[in-house]
Amino acid sequence: QSALTQPASVSGSPGQSITISCTGTSSDVGGYKYVSWYQQHPGKAPKLMIYDVRNRPSGVSNRFSGSKSGNTASLTISGLQAEDEADYYCTSYTSSNILEVVFGGGTKLTVL
Amino acid sequence: EVQLVESGGGLVKPGGSLRLSCAASGFTFSSSGMNWVRQAPGKGLEWVSSISSSGNYIYYADSVKGRFTISRDNAKNSLYLQMNSLRAEDTAVYYCAREKRGSSPIFDYWGQGTLVTVSS
């Protein structure tokens, strides 16, 4: 299955807001409400940040928010902090073949 | 506290086999769908396989279909991944991950990962 498309990198200064996009097709992002976002620091396991497009798990800062329009999902981080610097991945179901899970290629967030 | 602990990784020659295990604790394992996700060195995450809580529904990524087998033992709170006919491109850190709810690609808990290296 093809990975969802994310920008390779984004950057922002502390206090600013950034948005990471995740583009798929009607067979994945556009067809399901199950878009999730994960944060991964170097050498660590991924951490769930957003699920079902816009829901935050308990304990995740409300500076993180998610949305979706058509075949593109987005993760917005407001009030950037140094500890937000990490890799971010989106994921969705895909029915292009059989029901499978597909990840985005990942986006490296740099806090300047 | 939910804990997932992978084991079984290591160095194996191309064409060889390896069995990964994931020991679960802190939640009702028999009620949770489970997945394997891998990450090649310096690369992104790649979903490998999923198994429903009962073990009745199993899915694989095309890249491992026919070579890998996922299974679980609910009595032992354990998840497994039998990997056969290993290739260099299977080299990765393998994570087990719990589904937040059944039949959904929402992974709310992850293990620390176990490294599999396929090399001659």
pLDDT tens, per residue, chain A with 112 residues? 568 999 999 999 999 999 999 999 988 899 888 899 999 999 999 999 999 999 999 999 999 999 999 999 999 999 999 999 999 999 998 876 666 889 999 999 999 9
Q: For residue B44, give the nearest of A47, A48, A106 by CB distance.
A: A106
B103 vs B7, residue with greater confidence? B7
Choice among A82-86, B60-64, B116-120 with the minimum mean pLDDT: B60-64
User: What's the rounded mean pLDDT across residues B54-80?
Assistant: 96
Determine the Cα–Cα distance for residues B35 and B45; give it in Å rounded to an integer: 13
User: What's the rounded mean pLDDT across residues B60-72?
Assistant: 96
| Count of beta carbons in the 10 Å neighbourhood of residue A27 | 18
What is the nearest CA distance from A99 to chain B, expressed in angstroms? 8
- How much is the pLDDT for A94? 81
CB B47 within 8 A of CB B63: no
Which one of A95-99, B67-71, B99-103 scores highest in mean pLDDT?
B67-71
The full DSSP string for B62-100 is TTTTTTEEEEEETTTTEEEEEE-S--GGG-EEEEEEEES
Rg (CA), chain A: 13
Q: For residue B46, is pLDDT > 60?
A: yes
What count of Cα atoms within 13 Å lies in the side-chain half-sphere of residue B53?
12
Output the six-digit token pair for A96.
């292009």
What is the nearest CA distance from A85 to chain B, expressed in angstroms? 16
Question: Which of these, B70, B96, B73, lies nearest to B83 by C-alpha position?
Answer: B70
Inter-chain CB proximity A91 and B47 less than 8 Å: yes
- How much is the pLDDT for B104? 79
Where residue B45 falls among pLDDT bands split at 50, 70, 90?
Answer: very high
Inter-chain CB proximity B111 and A45 less than 8 Å: yes
Q: For residue B45, give the nearest of A34, A46, A93 by CB distance.
A: A46
- Within 8 A of A103 by CB-CB distance, chain B residues are 37, 44-47
- How much is the pLDDT for B94? 98
Element (H, E) at B50: strand B45-51
Inter-chain CB proximity B105 and A92 less than 8 Å: yes
Determine the Cα–Cα distance for residues A111 and A56; give it in Å rounded to an integer: 22
- How much is the pLDDT for B101? 86
Inter-chain CB proximity A52 and B108 less than 8 Å: no
Element (H, E) at B19: strand B18-25
